Amino acid sequence: MLRSFALRITVLTLLFTWRIASADTPPDVRLPPATRADAQGQLVSSRGLRDTTDFLAKELAARGIAVKQLGPYRVRGVELTRFVSQTPSTRWLAIHVLRSGGKTLIFFVARPSS
């Protein structure tokens, strides 16, 4: 039970610490096939963390978007891969691919307004 609580706190901290772009805004990156928005508006990939990460890395490279990939790595039972944009023209600052509780979630972190 304590492990589940720590996992929930980690996920909530991630969500509230960063300004997350909503799933309503279409990303300028193609997502893995069968990715859908769940009831809370989170993007859920039909693939696992590694497949989703590989798909996004190939898609970003094909579009010529320079990113710094961090991970995949595991923190307190949550697996995470981050793509931090090095291209100033993207609407997003980072893409987080998170695997928790058997779900692979994709979050777009909005670029701060200048």
- For the chain, the structural domain boundaries read 2-110
Average pLDDT over residues 92-102: 91
φ, ψ at 4 (rounded to 5°): -65, -40
Q: What is the pLDDT of residues 28-86, one digit of tens each?
A: 788 898 889 888 888 999 898 999 999 999 999 999 999 999 989 988 889 999 999 99
Q: CA 84 to CA 87: how far, in whole Å?
A: 9
Q: Residue 92: pLDDT above 50?
A: yes
Please give the model's pTM, rounded to 2 decimal places.
Answer: 0.75
Residue 65 exposure: Cα atoms within 13 Å on the Cβ side: 22
